[in-house]
Amino acid sequence: MENYLSVLNPEQRQAVLHWGKPLLILAGAGSGKTRVITTKIAYLVRERGVDPRSILAVTFTNKAAREMAERAQLIDSRAAEAMIRTFHSFGAWFLRRNGALIGLDSNFVIYDDDDTVTLLSSIMPNTTRAEAAKVAHHIARAKDYFLTPDDPELALIDHRPQFRNIYKLYEERLKAIGNVDFGDLIKKPVEILRAFPEVRQRFQDRFQVILVDEYQDSNVAQFELLKELYTSQTYLCVVGDDDQSIYRFRGAEVRNILEFPDRFSETDIIRLERNYRSTAPILAVAGAVVDNNQGRLGKTLQAERGNGKLPTLVFLPDQETEASFCAELIEKSLRSRGGTYSDWAILYRTNAQSLTFETELLRRHIPYKVVGSLKFYEREEIKDALALLSIMVNPRDEIAFKRVINKPARGLGQVTIDKIIEAASHAEPASRGNLLESCRNILPELSKKARNGLEGFLRILAQSRSMITTEGDVCKNSSVASDRLTAGDGLSALIVYILEASGIAEYHATEDEIAGTQRLSNLQELANAASLYPATEEGLAEFLEHIELDRSLESGEESNDSVTLITVHNTKGLEFRKVIITGLEQGIFPRDDKQDEDLEEERRLFYVGVTRAKDELYLTTCALRRMYGRASYNQPSLFLSEIPLDYIKILGQIPRGFKSGPKSASICDPSLHGAGQRDAEDGRLGPYARQLPRAPRTVSSDGLWRIGASLFHDDYGYGQVVRISEGPEGPLIEAQFETGKQVRFLSKYQSERFMRIERDGY
DNA sequence: CCCGTCGTTATTTTT
DNA sequence: TAACGACGGG
């Protein structure tokens, strides 16, 4: 392990060894960012004598947090004691310990977006769920931007005067219930740190080192959290890539990273620009497009892997042809050049686009998997099961209560349920809001049928409770007559019991029979997942928190070889040997309502997609697309026109009016581009202009080509070099093929695709 | 209680 | 277009 620093390149090593002033590491795609962070954690513990418990490393995904912890521990096992968590998991950890200061019980349950919408619906009677969802979205954004209901800036999120009141009401209800939403996991800790200096002091003393990964995705509230934890004694290091900030619509604030050097004085900046993932032509395309963004710190990726295949841009008539083109491309490639299905990923902007690909791949028996569409925890049966568990943890959870109190039907109508909730809200302070207690009190008033049903429900919950307050295996003695589900260890036995006894299992088993669904097996899967947790109060709370905060499903069936269908957003952090980015049309990607900052974000999204590719990149665009039952003729994506023509190989019919990017050598040479009308628009052409125009050459400056030289190309057949010019990217070769195709390519990007068949004398 | 039909409604989604 | 939820007839 003494050599763990020697595997780093100079910039990486500099980033690892850096200490003192705040540090911003601008880590380009594929530049070994994770290696740097993990090595840095280990280095701090090992060489700088930093107590691992004083290190706080925050990420955005559980996957990233896990990977970071694992890899740091591989270098130094003491790193296990560092606090490596997601922002939200850190917030939950903080609130369980300090929430009491603002009247939050430690047994809170974390509401997901769906629960939030349900709660809002109950606050806003006579509104549709869609409307409630919109308000919920706005409240979530407000929290992301650290705005309270009385903040004047709230109008920037939702200008309607009643929004403020609804938000306030929502906060009151959430507080009465004793639960929190995702936004609270960040916002409330900040409020506590601000209101209680002694708490702030404690945390500032504890965390001497703060590392933040994917900093470009942080929101305003998260920035505020960092500010509260930060002192001049703290070593703060953030890592990110402004070009990969793609979650603005969820409150991510790219300015956090852009303005980091302004917010923390004397910031050092280290750029990691060596890319170990993609070949040069792929990075050239990525760079050419993202360079059109104004709001960026700027960096240029260097391809450590060197040259490779030129990316291909394909013009297609419609989405069916697009799907069959992709399928054929994959099949042909596998046949002629080998490789596996899992080398391939088909990327699209919106989930709806996956359908055509699925149909086509299915038809051709090409194995595929759709990433991200599995919404396991949003399924009705799973939400039912979680609601039962939530009530056990927090008997004030009215959303969970309403969900399962009359499911399956126990003869409890809307009126009775409202009465129970109403009574609970007026109870003595000690049991205020406690719905189970309220149920007990109301029993005498009910009809026989309703009373029996409710008594049965309470008995089941009481029995479940007895299973977790006592030690260990008592659970297995309490099994129910039926055996739809199989109980495993620990908490799974409790879940199986409560699902069977409550009738939820039966309810969904019936549903399975009718609709041929897999609900029971989903419930079984949930129970299985719980077997890792002890059947104790803490185990149950931990299980629920884990589920709320980590919804990525690690399904065990990842081993089979298949093509990946995935939205561009979902590809972040992933890589594939061969990537096809589809639907590159104006209106789809980018959506045509996007302007300014939103357009720049779409461009970053395109950049993310392109930089996923290791070896081969294909871009497809359709003239006609049917969406939502409407056919529309779309222009090729703006981003395609930002790619210099000589950076790509083009297949299919180029629509008239399509122009390639302005910054390549080709566009700089007026003789190649008639009017060169873009030049005037683009001020950045200035520096290049001085190199132009240049006299036509007969021999390229690198000596590889001369006019008249013969060459061969896989797709275009035989041809001749007709023009040679020198651009800022080196010699630019223009060739005329027998098929009539005229192609321009940069000499330095010539691959095996442009084969010289007559050796020049140079 | 079950099934068919109509109407609605469609970005992206780490937590 | 197509998928899903709400509602009403049998």
Digit-coded pLDDT (tens) for A191-214 = 999 999 999 999 999 999 999 999
Average pLDDT over residues A128-135: 82
Q: Select, from the ranges A26-30, A358-362, A511-515, the one with the highest average predicted confidence (pLDDT).
A: A26-30
Q: Is the pLDDT of residue A753 over 60?
A: no
Instruction: Note the pLDDT of residue A479.
Output: 53
Instruction: Note the pLDDT of residue A159.
Output: 85
CATH superfamily of A302-367+559-651: P-loop containing nucleotide triphosphate hydrolases (3.40.50.300)
Instruction: Note the pLDDT of residue A681.
Output: 27
**Average pLDDT of chain A?**
85
Q: Is the pLDDT of residue A575 over 50?
A: yes
**Model pTM?**
0.82
d(CA A98, CA A139): 24
Query: Which residue has tokens 């509104």?
Result: A127
Average pLDDT over residues A499-504: 88
d(CA A173, CA A689): 64
Average pLDDT over residues A169-189: 95
pLDDT band at A678 (very low <50, low <70, confident <90, very high): very low
Pick the CATH number of A111-179 from 2.30.30, 1.20.1070, 3.30.70, 1.10.10: 1.10.10
Rg (CA), chain A: 30
Total residues belonging to chain A: 762
Q: Which nucleotide is nearest to A61 (CA to C1')?
A: B14
Question: What is the per-residue DSSP string for A119-156?
Answer: HHHHHSTT--HHHHHHHHHHHHHHHHTT--TT-GGGGG
d(CA A42, CA A470): 41
Q: Which are the contacts of A691, defined by CB distance < 8 A and separation ≥ 6?
A: A668, A726, A728
At position A155, the amino acid (one-letter code) is A
A34 annotated as ligand-binding: yes
Q: Which nucleotide is nearest to A629 (CA to C1')?
A: C1
- Per CATH, the architecture of A1-96+187-272 is what? 3-Layer(aba) Sandwich (3.40)
Sketch the domain layout of chain A as residue ranges: 1-96+187-272, 111-179, 302-367+559-651, 383-534, 709-756
Instruction: Note the pLDDT of residue A690.
Output: 23
Question: Measured between alpha carbons, how far is residue A428 from residues A101, A127, A391, A425 in Å?
Answer: 21, 32, 20, 9
pLDDT band at A729 (very low <50, low <70, confident <90, very high): low
Instruction: Note the pLDDT of residue A555.
Output: 55
| Given the residues A76, A115, A158, A214, the one annotated as active site | A214
pLDDT band at A756 (very low <50, low <70, confident <90, very high): low
Cβ atoms < 10 Å from Cβ of A357: 24
Which burial class, exposed, middle or buried, applies to A297 when counting CB atoms under 10 A from its CB (0-12, 13-18, 19+)? Answer: middle
Would you tell me the crossing angle of helices A161-177 and A113-123 to the nearest 10 degrees?
110
pLDDT band at A740 (very low <50, low <70, confident <90, very high): low
| Given the residues A349, A519, A612, A723, the one annotated as active site | A612
Provide the β-strand partners of residue A345: A564, A579
d(CA A458, CA A296): 58
Q: Which nucleotide is nearest to A129 (CA to C1')?
A: C5
Instruction: Note the pLDDT of residue A177.
Output: 93
**pLDDT digits over A26-66, tens only?**
999 999 999 999 999 999 999 999 999 999 999 999 999 99
| Given the residues A11, A12, A34, A59, the one annotated as active site | A34
**pLDDT digits over A56-102, tens only?**
999 999 999 999 999 999 999 999 999 999 999 999 999 999 999 99
What percent of chain A shows pLDDT beyond 90?
Answer: 55
Instruction: Note the pLDDT of residue A10.
Output: 95
**In this structure, is the CB of residue A355 within 7 Å of any atom belonging to strand C?**
yes
Residue whose C-alpha is closest to residue A141's, from A253, A267, A256: A253
The torsion angles phi and psi of A583, rounded to 5 degrees, stand at 60, 35
At position A252, the amino acid (one-letter code) is A
Give catalytic status of residue A21 as yes or no: no
Which burial class, exposed, middle or buried, applies to A438 when counting CB atoms under 10 A from its CB (0-12, 13-18, 19+)? Answer: buried
d(CA A640, CA A335): 29
Q: Is the pLDDT of residue A701 over 70?
A: no
Task: Spell out a b/e string for A225-244, using b for 16 or more CB atoms within 10 Å of the CB, else e.
Answer: bbebbbeeebbbbbbbbbbb
Q: Is the pLDDT of residue A374 over 90?
A: no
Give catalytic status of residue A231 as yes or no: no
A29 annotated as ligand-binding: yes
Domains A111-179 and A383-534 share a fold: no
Question: What is the per-residue DSSP string for A227-275?
Answer: HHH--TTSEEEEEE-GGG---GGGTB-THHHHTHHHHSTT-EEEEE-EE
Instruction: Note the pLDDT of residue A673.
Output: 29
Average pLDDT over residues A556-580: 88
What percent of chain A shows pLDDT beyond 70?
Answer: 84
Report which residue is nearest nucleotide B9 when distances run from CA to C1'. Answer: A628
Average pLDDT over residues A267-278: 96
CATH superfamily of A383-534: PCRA; domain 4 (1.10.486.10)
pLDDT band at A510 (very low <50, low <70, confident <90, very high): confident
